[in-house]
Structure 1
């Protein structure tokens, strides 16, 4: 199946945009803040929390980075105004990280200040390995400046994560652990990760266990049901309260699993992307993870 998906991915990009748009509606809330908050309100009513993400990663100018910052400020205002149980997730490259790190930090500080006024958390999303150290350094600088409403994502498939997580552990911290989706050089990845996503699971569990042991709140971001069950077993064996972690899933993906977790009493947070870059988001996810091509094809055939 992995070979099939790899071969299929380029063909998906040739599909008419209208068809990709139709498929993407399940996974993307819409183009506007209003559409995103409407979807979040519905998720809240069903018992889920949410994380809102403005689509668009690397930016070509600082003015574009400032525009994205302004869009996030509108999201924060909407979350506060509507009393939504939601936070935001921000990719630093979208705020200008690769153009001017100081300018990016300034933009992120603007968001943190606005979020803090409404007791909203801000997640710094992790990008490809070329950005990893820059984003860890950015988080640590913000922490030294006294910002406590911010946390980072770490990717379990990277070898370096064992070392990266150490200075980020501790009571009051908030991390998100995911497997990782970017295409990276094989020597950067844990053994077996290139060919077998299941090979990442022991590393993922080890990072979650370190969060449990250190009192670090952790967002467990995976759609792998076997891994979810292993996390639950780990939490029970260590007497970790359900309030010490949450499961996090993408909008429109494995909805039966998210419903099961909610029914069992676990907090579940849904990642809700929106924005005009819906096509770029869909194509990037296919490129970064060919398995998405299979998902999109199945959705196309059944929509």
Structure 2
């Protein structure tokens, strides 16, 4: 199965772009701000919370980073005009983290200041291991400046057990996910390189410890076993539902997402949009060959069904 998954991941560039575009409509809100606004409004009407991500990867020039900053500012203005309360997902490398730290922080501060003026929060996304420390340092600075901002953590990294201690002490707002980047086994918790279920005990520990320490936690997973384990713990401990939320990707495990909402849990849907729909769709598959076969099969099956 692992060989087949790897083959499936490498075969993605051979799939016609037109087919990827049709398939991506379930997982990407669209290319334009208007399309994204329509999608999030529908989700809000249905009772979901949302996080919006402007698609784009690492900026290679200052002009690209500035263009991304303008895209976020335009999004914030549109959300404010439409009175849509949401959250932004911000990827620091898309705003120039690897080019100029100071310029990147200036762009992020402008975005967060504009967002706060409209009652919009933000979450700093976590990227690959080469950016982890710089992202945590940037978050600490932004948090200390009083911006309403959270940080994503990846449970499959060994270092997260240490990184989370300072965040818990500050009662930082966190988004805890398993982690998707293909990292060397030396950086991962034991067993995670061959079995993603090995991440689950670490995920549960991070979530439960952070909540008990007083942090608000976004539980970002589609793993049914993990969700069952955590809902059981949350109910046994009588944790107020204002202290956490479940988070899921647009178009993924929608029946599970709907069931959580029906049980009275807060559920946030991650909504990506932008011109980089093709890159996003293909990267999500290629970044983790272990699940590439399942994702590709599900996407193709869904396309045939439509």
Q: TM-score range by the shorter chain?
A: over 0.9
- Number of the residue aligned with 1:83: 83
- Number of the residue aligned with 1:132: 132
Shift of 1:297: 3.0
Matched position secondary structure for 2:300: helix
Deviating more after overlay: 228-237 vs 164-173: 164-173
Q: Report Cα offsets for 1:190-232 as digits up to 9, x if no partner.
A: 0010111110000000100111111100000000011011111
Q: Report the TM-score, using the length of structure 1 for normalisation.
A: 0.97
CA distance in 2, matches of 1:205, 1:298: 27
Shift of 1:85: 3.2
8 A Cα contact 2:171 2:213, kept in partner: no
Structure 1 residues 171 and 188: alpha-carbon distance in aligned structure 2, compared to 1, 3 A threshold:
closer
CA distance in 1, matches of 2:94, 2:87: 17
Structure 1 residues 84 and 293: alpha-carbon distance in aligned structure 2, compared to 1, 3 A threshold:
farther
- Number of the residue aligned with 2:120: 120
Shift of 1:172: 5.4
- Number of the residue aligned with 1:214: 213
- Number of the residue aligned with 1:278: 277
8 A Cα contact 1:251 1:272, kept in partner: yes
CA distance in 2, matches of 1:301, 1:238: 40
- Number of the residue aligned with 1:180: 179
- Structure 1 runs not aligned, ≥5 long: none
- Structure 2 runs not aligned, ≥5 long: none
Query: Are 1:57 and 2:57 an aligned pair?
Result: yes
- Number of the residue aligned with 2:259: 260
Matched position secondary structure for 1:10: helix
- Number of the residue aligned with 2:44: 44
CA distance in 2, matches of 1:41, 1:118: 16
Q: Report Cα offsets for 1:79-127 as digits up to 9, x if no partner.
A: 2211223111010000000000111100000011001111211110000
- Number of the residue aligned with 1:191: 190
- Number of the residue aligned with 2:110: 110
CA distance in 2, matches of 1:169, 1:222: 20
CA distance in 1, matches of 2:185, 2:119: 40
Shift of 1:68: 0.3
Count of aligned pairs: 302
8 A Cα contact 1:8 1:294, kept in partner: no
**Which ranges of 4 or more aligned residues in structure 1 deviate by more than 3 Å?**
none
CA distance in 1, matches of 2:134, 2:169: 21
The two structures, once aligned, show a CA RMSD in angstroms of 1.2
CA distance in 2, matches of 1:53, 1:292: 22
Q: Report Cα offsets for 1:135-164 as digits up to 9, x if no partner.
A: 0000111122232x0110000000000110
- Number of the residue aligned with 2:157: 158
Q: Report the TM-score, using the length of structure 2 for normalisation.
A: 0.96
Q: Report Cα offsets for 1:237-296 as digits up to 9, x if no partner.
A: 222111100000000000000000000000000000001111111121112112134322
